[in-house]
Structure 1
Amino acid sequence: MAAAGLVLTGVVAAAGPAAAAPYCGIRWGSLPERAGDLGPGSVRDVRAGRHACFDRLVVDVDGDAGGYVVSYVDVVRAPGSGARVPLRGGAALQVVVQVPTYDRVDGSATYDPADARELVDVAGYRTFRQAALAGSFEGTTDLGLGVRARLPFRAFVLDGPGDGSRVVVDVAHRW
């Protein structure tokens, strides 16, 4: 009888931790992510979308996006000047895309938003609170993404459509 009790106890103990599955299967973290180098393309547009488990920011690039650096920061700063970029939310992600918002040959703007402080309308989003253009300097573009709290995120580059590419940042709704 004692042996049966030991076996039963072992089964219950083993089942406990396995029952705690990650939210939506997400196994992302909140540490900085970096990939690639300076790319030959330029920013064309910034947009956002809502998904069942995360909010998504997409930076559309004409040509090759090169890479990105995405990290939580205390304060998002404008490149070059270092000026503070105010953001709504409990946490701030600095998103650096390795291409500029201007044509490298003639300096003309390839992306000129109507309001640099409100790149996309994120009203009703579960995680995003604000997306702002911090600036474009020395071939890179800095964005500030205000989020509800420090939550797991992932970043990656997708090819297309056509000759373009996209830098994507997903931020989970919760841990």
Structure 2
Amino acid sequence: MQHRHTLAAVAAGILLTAGIGATMPAGAANAPTLSTTTPTTALVVNARWGGHATFDRLVIDVRGAMPPVTVHQTRALYYDGSGERVPLAGKHFLEIKLSPAAAHDDSGRSVYKGPRLVKIYLPTLKGVALTGDFEGVVTIGAAFDTKPVYKTFRLHSPERFVVDIAHTMGCRS
């Protein structure tokens, strides 16, 4: 009787192993591992801006695959985690959230080289702040004196998220 239980256990193990092996793609055992240059979580590494004849542009640089991004207008900006108000001058604000993303590496060192809080003198864009790098969400805020009319899009190689904010004035030097 003991011999039958052992035989049944061995047979079950063989079938289980064969079943698992059948679901693995061909060559999976020899599949390359992820390169150390390709982060598993998108890394937000910079935010930059520029003025153009009919719009101001905010660009967020990302290392790795672009995560989902949400942009919404808000009455004020607050730092994630602490809840303290962000001291950017303006009457209107955009909150840009990238998730899942981080502005730090696995060791906790910042990879974000952009501004933490900066006043800007463009026709529409008046300030930018990194407002959060908390629990897999990176948040960047933008400040305006007037309600922003904007469009967003993504650019690739390298990965970038772009916000174009319309204005009717020409660029200032």
Q: Distance in 2 between matches of 1:154 and 1:85?
A: 24
> Match of 1:137?
134
Asked if structure 2 preserves the Cα contact closer than 8 Å seen for 1:101 and 1:112, the reply is no
Q: Does 1:101 align with 2:99?
A: no
Could you tell me which amino acid in structure 1 is paired with residue 49 of structure 2?
Answer: A
In structure 2, stretches of 5+ residues that fail to align are 1-39, 169-173
Q: Distance in 2 between matches of 1:86 and 1:55?
A: 21
Tell me how large the CA RMSD over aligned residues is. Answer: 1.8
How many residue pairs align between the two structures?
128
Asked if structure 1 preserves the Cα contact closer than 8 Å seen for 2:75 and 2:91, the reply is no
Q: Distance in 2 between matches of 1:55 and 1:148?
A: 13
Could you tell me which amino acid in structure 1 is paired with residue 124 of structure 2?
Answer: T
Residue pairs, 1:106-121, within 5 angstroms: 106-113=107-114, 116-118=116-118
> Match of 2:31?
none
> Match of 1:156?
153
Over alpha carbons, which structure has the higher Rg?
Answer: 2
TM-score, normalised to structure 2, is: 0.68
Could you tell me which amino acid in structure 2 is paired with residue 169 of structure 1?
Answer: V
SS at match of 1:52: coil
> Match of 2:76?
75
The Cα of 1:96 is off from its aligned counterpart by 1.2
TM-score, normalised to structure 1, is: 0.67
Residue pairs, 1:55-94, within 5 angstroms: 55-94=56-95
**Cα deviation digits, residues 10-58 of structure 1 (max 9, x gap):** xxxxxxxxxxxxxxxxxxxxxxxxxxxxx82101111101122111100
The Cα of 1:84 is off from its aligned counterpart by 1.1
Q: Does 1:168 align with 2:162?
A: yes
Percent of counterpart pairs with the same letter? 34
Q: Distance in 2 between matches of 1:110 and 1:91?
A: 28
> Match of 2:51?
50
Could you tell me which amino acid in structure 2 is paired with residue 101 of structure 1?
Answer: A
Residue pairs, 1:1-80, within 5 angstroms: 40-80=41-81
Q: Distance in 1 between matches of 2:113 and 2:51?
A: 24
Could you tell me which amino acid in structure 1 is paired with residue 123 of structure 2?
Answer: R
Asked if structure 2 preserves the Cα contact closer than 8 Å seen for 1:58 and 1:168, the reply is yes
Deviation above 3 Å: which 4+ runs of structure 1? none
**Cα deviation digits, residues 131-162 of structure 1 (max 9, x gap):** 1111211111111100121121112221112x
SS at match of 2:117: coil
Q: Distance in 2 between matches of 1:108 and 1:151?
A: 34
Task: Specify which of 119, 122, 127 is matched with residue 120 of structure 2.
Answer: 122
In structure 1, stretches of 5+ residues that fail to align are 1-38
